[in-house]
Structure 1
């Protein structure tokens, strides 16, 4: 009687294993190809081949993130809708106390790509997040004939970025790029405003902005995971979209050096950096009704202490020399909008009248003057002669 009751129970327990859609090619020990890692902006997603793990003698409940086998939140979920079936895991990028499956997060200094846009920097920083998924250790006795599974993963996020070609006509933009190493670029945006309260986006009239109009620029990190501030290293304007060989440019500021008509109000202190400048025109547009300006910023995400270290270098009058142009690499990403239009400063109307109308008016004035002098002289002569004849006739009488 007991045997008959146990057989259905055994069948129920074995049903998930019997229903797996696994081909014979996965009857092997797990290898590197069984782990897929997606380094997202806020969440790292992992997939493990369930068939090879099952063939090794384990099921999904045996595997856990970073050794947290007693925490159900660190276990994976099975997806049998794909071939082969997989175990899904999600791990927040933010290494905080609220993350029950905490991973290792390390910030390292690295040498930049010598052919990239940050080649003039002595070093750039990256966040490296590492973790693992494993099975409980079989540590009974001295030896064991059963295998343990261990899947190690790593995600690298550079903290230096290039944002360029921001058109002031637009209010905001954010474009994400997909890279195997992961990127924070889709959390960054550049916007322009018409006032120091940064409440309303800048509206450019069809004829363009008047010269010397104050323009307020904000570079912001939104939904950024981790405790990083935004530090603008180099912001500049060009008359055309970003080009590697661009020679015409106007620097708003480079490191510690700031243009006289530019004011940096906030930089490296929070997730928002702000500066403002006066509208100008490029001389090469002197024959055009409007002058276009494209905005570009090289920025970095840095820990508050690192940002303060760089800002303190400015206070001690140590200035960093930056070269923003260079071949793009996977350490930089581009967000493009533009351009801003400023009106041409036309010649004053009085001068225009003098240039266009002076010859004809001068000729008429000279002609009138000559005629007036002739008639005036004739009238004077006639008056003198008339008086002389009248006086002569009087004496005769």
Structure 2
């Protein structure tokens, strides 16, 4: 029996000849003995050599629940590409393909046919931010005791600590040291799971040839502040905009977060996975300390660009601000000078009027004295 564990669907394939040899056919083979459900029965493919019986179903809540597939969540120590994480949760989807005895009497001479299958998925995904105000997400297959459901993780960038105003990136880019607030939230998750951010990092290029870690586990860059992580169905942190030294004329980077889902009861234990790796810029393939802190890209959503303003733009902006300041000062001085000129002219006119008025009065008094 061949089992294909896809990210969206599971496919089972078995030779059909043994089925007929044992006295059954494709209509008598079903997932977990759900023979009354047509969607749980296999489909024969006679176009291939040898012919096969196929079962194909999606790992959605409806399909898994209808055919009574079993789902379990286990917690294990991270290995291979997940070796930097001390605790990981896995989801296991398992079941059986069983035959239905066609005998109608009290006895049967047919041997029961049963094929067991299972697929194991880590609750580990890479999620990346979307550019500016658009939102990107990745679908995650997770489960509860009652079955599975699909949840969507979304990353959004904000400009305020209340996470209420989306970050708008100007055409010229953000200024260095602008604080960027990041939220990774899960929707349609139910009440059993929380979101953990294990590793968030920035890449200078889409090929990830140059990266900078914002935080790995409990270790973080000095400018990174983790607000909420592993406590709710959303995780939040913030960092200051920076530039890669190799990028002289401005800087651009993508933001990525390695995200896990944890059952609420086990989240505290899952959080005890602090990396001993040092922070800094590293080249792809080498990692830090000889071991990469990356995980597999099985569910990666690539971000849009975050653009940082070039240094000369800052200088030109400062120069413009200085020039505008000078112009405002000169305008203020001119206005004050104009007002003072008007006041002085008014005062001179008033004094002159008073003087001429006094002189006229003296002349009139002298004329009266002469006549008398």
TM-score range, shorter chain: 0.5 to 0.7
Q: CA RMSD in A?
A: 4.6
Match of 2:112 in 1: 148
Tell me the secondary structure at the aligned position of residue 256 of structure 2: strand
Is 1:65 matched up with 2:31?
A: yes
Per the alignment, do residues 161 and 77 of structure 1 end up closer, same or farther by CA in structure 2, a change over 3 Å counting?
A: closer
Aligned mates of 2:158, 2:208 — CA distance in 1: 25
Determine if contact 1:129/1:154 at 8 Å carries over to the other structure: yes
Match of 2:303 in 1: 337
- Matched ranges for 1:267-278 at <5 A: 267-278=229-240
- Matched ranges for 1:196-211 at <5 A: 196=161, 198=163, 201-211=166-176
Per the alignment, do residues 91 and 208 of structure 1 end up closer, same or farther by CA in structure 2, a change over 3 Å counting?
A: closer
Aligned mates of 1:89, 1:279 — CA distance in 2: 47
For residues 110-153 of structure 1, what are the alpha-carbon distances to aligned partners after superposition, in whole Å with 9 as ceiling and x for unaligned? Answer: 4411xx4x4433453322222111124799xxx97533211211
Aligned mates of 2:86, 2:175 — CA distance in 1: 40
2:99 equivalent among 135, 142, 157: 135
Match of 2:68 in 1: 101
- Matched ranges for 1:53-202 at <5 A: 53-68=19-34, 72=37, 75-76=40-41, 78=43, 84=51, 86=53, 88=55, 90=57, 92=59, 101-113=68-80, 116=81, 118-136=82-100, 146-163=110-127, 166=129, 168-169=131-132, 171-174=134-137, 187-196=152-161, 198=163, 201-202=166-167
Determine if contact 1:235/1:296 at 8 Å carries over to the other structure: yes
Determine if contact 1:91/1:101 at 8 Å carries over to the other structure: no
Per the alignment, do residues 175 and 92 of structure 1 end up closer, same or farther by CA in structure 2, a change over 3 Å counting?
A: closer
Aligned mates of 2:115, 2:34 — CA distance in 1: 14
For residues 349-396 of structure 1, what are the alpha-carbon distances to aligned partners after superposition, in whole Å with 9 as ceiling and x for unaligned? Answer: 39999xxxxxxxxxxxxxxxxxxxxxxxxxxxxxxxxxxxxxxxxxxx
Aligned mates of 2:97, 2:133 — CA distance in 1: 45
TM-score (norm 1): 0.57
How far off its partner does 1:195 sit? 4.2
Aligned mates of 1:331, 1:293 — CA distance in 2: 18
Tell me the secondary structure at the aligned position of residue 205 of structure 1: coil
How far off its partner does 1:98 sit? 5.7
Tell me the secondary structure at the aligned position of residue 306 of structure 1: helix
Match of 2:258 in 1: 298
Determine if contact 2:127/2:137 at 8 Å carries over to the other structure: no
In terms of fraction of residues, the more strand-rich structure is 2
TM-score (norm 2): 0.61
Is 1:217 matched up with 2:178?
A: no
Determine if contact 2:130/2:155 at 8 Å carries over to the other structure: no
The answer for unaligned runs of 5 or more in structure 1 is: 1-31, 178-183, 354-397
Determine if contact 1:168/1:295 at 8 Å carries over to the other structure: no
